Chain A
Amino acid sequence: MSIPAAQMAAVAKYVLEQRLAGREKYPLVLMLEPLFRCNLSCTGCGKIQYPVSILKKDLSVEDCLRASEECEAPVVSIAGGEPLLHPQISAIAQGLVERGRFVYLCTNALLLERKLDEFRPDKHLSFSVHMDGPREEHDLAVCREGVYEVAVNAIRAALDRGFRVTTNTTLFEGADPERMRRFFDDMMGLGVEGMMISPGYSYEKAPDQEHFLRRERSHKLFSRMLTNPKRSWRFNQSPFFLQFLMGKRDFDCTPWGNPTYNVFGWQRPCYLLQDGYARTFRELMEETDWSKYGRKSGNPRCQDCMVHCGFEPSAVRATFASPRSLTESALAMVTGRL
């Protein structure tokens, strides 16, 4: 596991403070979408289908920082759209870093190399580069030739300049476990800090509706990929979440764990479902009927979802649930065994 010690300590301190304060529901990661426009149109993405005037809309730096202050989550994941198309993205990232947040700037990396000058390397800032598998699979998923190569070059350039870099991989039906294992080797060979993996969510608005993984298929795929993990692999995720993907643990979703803020407001209930918007973070937390979401709720849109934005917070909660689980998680981190 590869989450830096300072980040782990900050998250652990935050979680313990929430527990000591007796808070049942608290956010771990703010999903910040400062824009919806993108320079790719990926086969499994349902995030960018809006009229042009909405696609052209940007959240201001002030909006983004205010959202982070409202929500107080220690980690901020800047998603979109393609964040590097935002004209003030470096100011947003810098403002969040100055507020002590750990920022993951998610990018397809098409513009990363040419935008690096705008950023300063910092232990609080990581570029999370979208890599959906080996060259052929990645270019197919993003529907454009040569994107894998551009992303690899951008990763090298960012690492050369002293930036933290992680990868973010979404998996779909048809992924080959053996090829994915070699892909993990390739990414670690590049020198990235860690990898994030997750099955894709079956967005209703995505163009390709045929390749979303169902729950059982996800368990099989992740189990084959992650059984006997190599010592060299580092994942920027909690061991319990990876074990959940493999079917070794079961959690229900924590939909408030990664609240989402975008040009419409605070999205109910989560990053993936759009059931409306709250004007404030407090309104989101207090006035959303959370019982309608998660697998146990019977909500059909939640039945096959295993995405990290809902289940990583569950895994973290489970980690801190008892001294025994904390020890199990620490052991998995040290040994790399899942």
Chain B
Amino acid sequence: MNEAFPSEPRLSELVERAFDYRGYVTVLRSDGSEMIGYLYDRGPAHVDLLDETATRRTRLSRDEIVDIRFTGDDPVRKSQEIWERRKGSLEPRDSPAHGEWAGSRPVLLAVALEQELQHVARALGLRRHRASARGRLQGSDIVALAVGVGGSARVVSDEEPRVVVSCGFCGALDPTLEAGDLVLATSVRAPGSEAVRAPDALLAQAHRALSGLPFYEGEVLGTSAVAATPDDKRALGASGALAVDMETHSLALAANKAGIPWLSVRAVLDPQGVTLPRFAREPRKSYLTAALRHALSSPRGAMEIARLASAARRAGASLEEAIRRLWKVLA
């Protein structure tokens, strides 16, 4: 169906208005078809449109334009209305740092110590700088942080991640678990409190990603003190939990509160029957100096440190493999 063509002054006026307009327009063509797009340029004989997905450019001859309608929202008017509405009042301090562009939210991997962070950074090829390692892999931003033993869950609100992964080392409560075995938490509970369940969909994906590795699924216990002796661990294990750590519970609570899916994968450092040396029972930023001092204190101390270092190597290697496999799901 042929439409009536506008006069040249009318067409020029329409084209200039559309060029100045910051929203989408609908161009009616002489063959009866319509084209929706953003009119970003014009010449004496043509107009240039970017389609609604902002991927395809089309040059239309002016001769085929019958009408231009201003069918899309006007972002300029919208921005002025918002500004008028909140004139004098500012956006709150805790507004997301990414604004409304949630697509670029990172995956947060939280560990307790820088030693654990080293394994995460190595697994993902990140450069570590002190207690953090950041980067981008397969189109996803990653932030890996050492939050300290029993560390602050504030990282969840600070980083605004799209997924939280609590990872690192743990102590075994189940006597069958050995150093280097992996524990995938189905839920986490603090003694005497309700369990926080990991989201089913993410858990199922993680389960598939880890298949083939020596990993166990079950509840993890979150404590505020290090479970250091076999007696401590047996007592805590009575709850049926597989393992114990000091970070997953607070991270899972913070993630749940923010509506962010979470996951916990931990590698066993100390099996249930192992007693941790005295220095390892206090939360510290780094255990290196204390471990050296302990090793030099007596032959028995040196043996304990050698055993712990060997367990840490196994746990670290397992953790790296787990993170590498999980990344395929997380990315």
Contacts and interface: CB of A to CB of B under 8 A. Distances in A.
Asked whether A and B interact, the reply is: yes
Contact of A85 (B84, B91, B95, B98): B98
Interface in A112-150: 114-118, 139-140, 143-146, 150
Contact of B127 (A50, A56, A85, A117): A117
A87 B38 contact: no
Interface stretch (B133-141, B241-249, B276-284, B300-308): B133-141
Q: How large is the interface on B (under 10, 10 to 19, 20 to 34, 35 or more residues)?
A: 35 or more
A39 interface: yes
B91 A51 contact: no
Contacts of B4: none
5 contacts: A56-B103, A117-B126, A205-B22, A205-B79, A276-B19
Contacts of B95: 144
A297 interface: no
Contacts of B97: 39, 110-111, 114, 150
A328 B141 CA distance: 49
Contacts of B53: 53
Interface residues of A, number: 42
Contacts of A88: 136
A191 interface: no
Contacts of A144: 90-93, 95
Nearest to B48: A277
The 8 A-B residue pairs with the shortest CB-CB distance in the complex, in nearest-first order:
A39-B99, A207-B83, A146-B93, A117-B134, A144-B91, A53-B54, A49-B75, A145-B93
* Central interface residue in B53, B76, B132, by most chain A CB within 10 Å: B76
A94 to B, nearest CB: 13
Interface in A174-226: 205, 207-208
Contacts of A40: 99
Interface string B78-103: 11101110100011110111110101
Contact of A207 (B79, B101, B139): B79
A118 B129 CA distance: 11
Given A39-B97, A205-B22, A118 B135 contact: yes
Contacts of A276: 19, 41-43
A87 B93 contact: no
Contacts of A118: 134-136
Contacts of A139: 90
B174 to A, nearest CB: 37
B73 interface: yes
A196 to B, nearest CB: 24
A79 interface: no
Nearest to A140: B90
A310 B43 CA distance: 25
Contact of B76 (A37, A82, A205): A205
A264 B42 CA distance: 12
Interface in B95-153: 95-99, 101, 103-104, 126-127, 129, 132-136, 139, 141, 143
A56 B76 contact: no
Interface string A54-84: 1011000000000000000000000000100
